[in-house]
Amino acid sequence: MAGVQVAGSPSCGQLREAPREPPPEQHNGFRRLSARLRALRPDDSSSARTEIHLLFDQLISENYSEGGGVAAEDVSALLVQACRLVPLNQNHLVSKVSQLIHHLLNRLQVIVDEQNLDFLMGYTISAIHQCSSWTHMEILQALAALVYYNGSKCQKYLPDLLGKTGLLTTLSDLAQSDPEVRRAAVHCMANLCLSVPGQPYLEEPYQNICFQAFLTTLQSPKSSDMDDITFCMLLQNALKGIQSLLNGGKMKLTQTDELGALLAVLKKAMFHGLPGLNIEMPTVLYPTPLPQYDGRPPVKPQQSESTASRPTVNKKKKYKIKPKKTPQGEEEEEESSSEMEAVQGPGTSRVNMHDRNTRCSSSLGVQGLPVDGSGTLGKERVSSPFTTSSWKRVSSSESDYSDAEGGLQGKMRSYQAKVRQGALACFLSTIKSIEKKVLYGYWSAFVPDTPELGSPQSVSLMTLALKDPSPKTRACALQVLSAILEGSKQFLSVAEDTSDHKRAFTPFSVMIASSIRELHRCLLLALVAESSSQTLTQIIKCLANLVSNAPYNRLKLSLLTKVWNQIKPYIRHKDVNVRVSSLTLLGAIVSTHAPLPEVQLLLQQPCSSGLSSSNSATPHLSPADWWKKAPAGSSLEETSVSSPKGSLEPCWLIRLCISTVVLPKEDCYSGGDTGSAAGSTFEPSPMRLEALQVLAHLARGYFSVAQVYLMELGEVICKCMGEADPSIQLHGAKLLEELGTGLIQQYKPDSTIPPEQRVPVFLVVMFWTVMLKGPLPRALQSSEHPTLQASACDALSSILPEAFSSLPNDRQILCITMLLGLNDSKNRLVKAATSRALGVYVLFPCLRQDVIFVADTANAILMSLQDKSLNVRAKAAWSLGNLTDTLIVNMEIPDPSFQEEFSGLLLLKMLRSAIEASKDKDKVKSNAVRALGNLLHFLQPSHIEKPIFAEIIEESIQALISTVLIEAAMKVRWNACYAMGNVFKNPALPLGTAPWTSQAYDALTSVVTSCKNFKVRIRSATALSIPSKREQYGSVEQYAQIWNALVTALQKSEDTTDFLEFKYCASLRTQICQALIHLLSLASASDLPCIKETLELNGDMVRSYLLQFLKSGTEGDDPGAAHSPQERDQVVKMALKHISSIQALTGDTAGRAIMDFLENILTIYFDASGSQVTLLELSDR
């Protein structure tokens, strides 16, 4: 008998939400039979039993294909009544009522309510205990239907079902003699493991019992009394059970043996029934970078690759079998054996295993594959380039399975495919439930590697992707491989094969690089061999994941070139999903480790490179189809002057994307598209969005290529932002932001791009004038689409400052007015974007001296700092930091009018807001303390003298001190130390005499000696070396404390447990040495005894580091050095001169000792560098 396949039902709620109106006779049929059943009373007579039998048969045979319009509670009540009429000593009736439970719950997709479930569970459990063994199969089917998605309501029955001697535990045991009963018991257990979100799940002990039962089932070989189909169904149920435990139960596989055992059985099940392949797996897979044993015999060295990888299969001719329809929700064993064929869709073809393998192995040099002139990339495209006899046998009428072999063999192959699919689905759930770093320990067991000479190709996920006859299984294997590759960037980053390794062993980096190469090879083979559009889409998505994560900057060239040339024809594929994924892959190529020289060359290739000689394969790329014939000519000529080489050779990818976005779709595939609106003349929306994303990637990574099309892209953006579809508008705004950012990068002070290769400022002005006269202002005002408004704000903030000042005055006023107005928006996304944009504008040279604009911006930012949204406050704090940077820049201008005109009350407000923000979350705090430091630096003597400022200055400095000391994010503490250094730069502040002086120095000395982060230590040492007068360091005791702390910090400059901090050791020592020399050059006579004492204790250590400091410029081991070597020895000489002058006045022995110490250092240094003149100067002194 067939087992229940409730897990396949589309709904896991009660009955369907809105069933179609059923025919009256169906509705009435169930009610009539139900009423007759309810009228019966328990009766042990023969006639009563016969009547019950007939009623049950009628209920089972009733037509429920439309759902019957029957309420779930009516079904549950009927089943309870049916069970009450059947005593447990009537085996035949128990069997019949079990069939009824299974049939009605399955066909009507009903989940029994808790009250009725309680009775029915008790009844079925008692039935298994009391009835003959021949009824167990039907009873277990009924039990499986009852517990389906009801596990949380069966808690009180779990000991009876899953206890040590529980029913399911016993019946699923290997000792169970009846294979069908064992299968049904495992099925029940799997259904128990299904969970409903929000409901309590199986307790951990029961989860472990089920997991072990499923694992044992998968590990056990097929018994002699079990037929192949039952064995397949048994494996399927066990796999579904484990998948449910991992998905709903959130079971964690923490033990290595447990995970290894599961992965071993999954790998074996992944290849179950694959023709010509029978692998033997160890019981447990252990994490290792070495290839895993797969039990296949070695291959002779002289064998070709195609022979080595070709499995032995029956070469009988295959014929098509007719698909058999089954009612929805039927059991898995009732499903059509041609399900896999149906997945392919009409018109596709499959080949037998021998044909498919020959196909793959005969196309190793596949990157130069020609495409037929028709541009069709399905079956015909794949078969045309090959002339082997195996290809000639492929026809569109062939199928996976044949009538000649009989229905049983075809059905068996279908079930074997489902086992493979189940194993892959379970593997996918396993991947999602374990950490990636754990998963990558098993990389070599599932990902192919280049085989050694004479060794067989290891079986992997790519074996299935290349050789499985079922397109659905191939798609599943590729989906799993994609999940493994997703997020693998850090793991793959160790790969390296740019040089030839000739060693006795293979380094891990070379092994990973070899695996990446093999993945490229296999996926490209799969690409040309595939005829199913769904599977083709998965192959391309998998390639995109690989490209996004592989470190091409550390690999030999040509990998991306092969992918690039191979994918080009698929952008014209008839299936829209294939076209979209092809664009996704191209986007991945131009965004991975950009800019790559290899990709730069690919983008500069002529339009026809790598394509068919027939223009029909890529009609968008022909010049006659270009979207702007006459008008674009002038724009292209104008922009060509900004091309790096002045070349007019068009970039085919940019032209393709522009065509996809703005041109009407072509007739060659317009009939088969999905995703485009009815009557739309354009490409489907997913295609257009993907094309816009590729353009954005190009603008970000290869701006030198995109800049040639600046004005054309501007027109595309205007067109997109003028459309009704908000998603198209949004992507247009994103592209505008990327182009704006690219222009800003070209004009940055540290830009390496020669001025003649930059886009001229006049062209940038022209570009932004078009944007601001187009739909951008309208997008900024579209309050019904806040995401679009926010993106438009981001785009507006990417205007080149040099171009902004040259914009027409009304456009400048428009930008500022829009931003200041949008700052009052109720939407947090818009408000955050506006706050950030204002923070950008306040740095513009043409605006930063405008007191009114700076004041308006400050008020807007202060208002945003009070917002409830953390994101808004974080952006506002960043902008406040920028605004205060502007104040500092304006201090350096000879004209003091800005400082005089800037409102003191506004300064007070800014200080108060910054103090409050410094108590906020780290995202806000880091910029709040930056702003505090700048504001305290900016304060003029006229401010400081006012009593109203005294208290706020004290509060501000206390806020900085507490931030320096707290255990916050290191960026926060670094900014706080930087801010403290800014405070010390203001000569008007009473540093040295104010009560907060000692607290500030205590905080900085604490950090410089003990902070775990060396960058924070460096910043605190820098702050300690900023005061320019001795009195600013306070008392002799305060000076001595600072000096001793710096010496201690120098001594501990290599004490760290974090390996990443070691690279900052040299910079830290340099900064501390500079601080010590600075203190020496300011020391008073009273400070010398303390300095002498420290040098007596730690002189050798200080001497060695000071010598290292003097030499470090020439040795190049100190990238963070602030001075040249000549400047360094000058500062030491100045310190020596200062100490010498003090000693001459006082005759202090401490001064003499310090002088000797410094002279000794300089002598050693100059002696080593060969500077005789300076040695003579020292000896004269």
CA distance 390 to 355: 5
CA distances from 673 to 15, 576, 591 (A): 34, 6, 27
Among the listed residues 963, 945, 969, the one whose alpha carbon sits nearest the alpha carbon of residue 999: 963
Q: At what angle do helices 809-822 and 786-796 cross, to 10 degrees?
A: 140
Q: What are residue 682's DSSP bridge partners?
A: 664
Q: Which two tokens stand for residue 1?
A: 């008998």
Instruction: Give the distance between the most distant pair of CA atoms in the chain.
Output: 133
**Amino acid type, 633:** G
Q: What is the pLDDT of residue 634?
A: 36
Q: What is the pLDDT of residue 453?
A: 63
CA distance 107 to 34: 16
CA distance 650 to 987: 60
Q: Which two tokens stand for residue 614?
A: 């027939």
For residue 192, give every residue at least 6 positions away whose Cβ sits within 8 Å of its Cβ, in sequence order, or none. 147, 151, 154, 161, 162, 168, 202, 210
Q: Which residues of 923-933 are buried (b: 16+ CB within 10 A; e: fewer)?
A: bbbbbbbbbbb
CA distance 318 to 466: 20
Q: Would you say the C-alpha torsion 753, 757, 762, 768 has a positive or negative sign?
A: negative
Helix (H, G, I), strand (E, B) or coil at 754: coil
Q: What is the pLDDT of residue 318?
A: 40
CA distance 822 to 799: 18
For residue 754, give every residue at least 6 positions away whose Cβ sits within 8 Å of its Cβ, in sequence order, or none. none
Among the listed residues 1101, 1088, 1060, 1090, the one whose alpha carbon sits nearest the alpha carbon of residue 1144: 1088
Contact in structure between 277 and 311 (CB atoms under 8 Å): yes
CA distances from 799 to 533, 636, 668, 768, 812 (A): 43, 22, 41, 8, 11
Among the listed residues 592, 520, 512, 588, the one whose alpha carbon sits nearest the alpha carbon of residue 552: 592
Q: What is the pLDDT of residue 407?
A: 78
Q: At what angle do helices 970-984 and 996-1010 cross, to 10 degrees?
A: 140
CA distances from 184 to 131, 173, 834, 883 (A): 16, 12, 62, 72
Contact in structure between 1179 and 1162 (CB atoms under 8 Å): no
Among the listed residues 791, 857, 847, 855, the one whose alpha carbon sits nearest the alpha carbon of residue 819: 857
Contact in structure between 991 and 997 (CB atoms under 8 Å): yes
CA distances from 965 to 470, 586, 959 (A): 64, 49, 10
CA distance 307 to 313: 13
Contact in structure between 1035 and 1055 (CB atoms under 8 Å): no
List, in sequence order, the alpha helices (H) in 220-311. Answer: 228-247, 256-270, 305-308
Q: What is the pLDDT of residue 314?
A: 40
Helix (H, G, I), strand (E, B) or coil at 682: strand
**Rg of the chain over CA atoms, in angstroms?**
39
List, in sequence order, the alpha helices (H) in 726-805. Answer: 726-746, 761-773, 776-780, 786-796, 801-804
Q: What is the pLDDT of residue 647?
A: 46
Q: What is the pLDDT of residue 343?
A: 36
Reported for 924-928, long-range contacts at CB under 8 A and 24+ positions apart, including other chains, are 924/865, 924/870, 924/873, 924/874, 924/877, 925/877, 925/963, 925/968, 925/972, 926/877, 926/969, 926/971, 926/972, 926/975, 927/874, 927/877, 927/878, 927/880, 927/881, 927/975, 928/877, 928/880, 928/881
CA distance 566 to 560: 10
Q: What is the pLDDT of residue 9?
A: 35
Element holding 210 (H helix, E strand): helix 204-219
1013: left (phi over 0), alpha (psi -120 to 50) or beta: beta
CA distance 1085 to 1148: 8
Q: Would you say the C-alpha torsion 587, 588, 591, 597 has a positive or negative sign?
A: negative
Neighbour count for residue 557 (Cβ, 10 Å): 12
List, in sequence order, the alpha helices (H) in 842-946. Answer: 851-864, 870-891, 897-901, 904-917, 922-938, 941-944
For residue 1159, give every residue at least 6 positions away whose Cβ sits within 8 Å of its Cβ, in sequence order, or none. 1136, 1178, 1181
Q: What are residue 664's DSSP bridge partners?
A: 682
**Amino acid type, 1129:** D
Q: Which residues of 1113-1130 are buried (b: 16+ CB within 10 A; e: fewer)?
A: beeeebeebeeebeebbe
pTM: 0.80
Contact in structure between 1050 and 1076 (CB atoms under 8 Å): yes
Q: Extract the residue ranges of the chain whose pLDDT is less than 50.
A: 1-24, 26, 290-404, 609-647, 670-672, 674-679, 1114-1122, 1172-1176, 1178-1179, 1181
User: What is the DSSP code (8-state) at residue 594?
Assistant: S
Q: What are phi and psi of 830, to 5 degrees?
A: -65, -45
CA 606, 597, 595: angle at the middle one, nearest 5? Answer: 105
Among the listed residues 296, 549, 284, the one whose alpha carbon sits nearest the alpha carbon of residue 442: 284
Element holding 831 (H helix, E strand): helix 828-841
Q: Which two tokens stand for residue 415?
A: 């079930």
Q: What is the pLDDT of residue 892?
A: 86
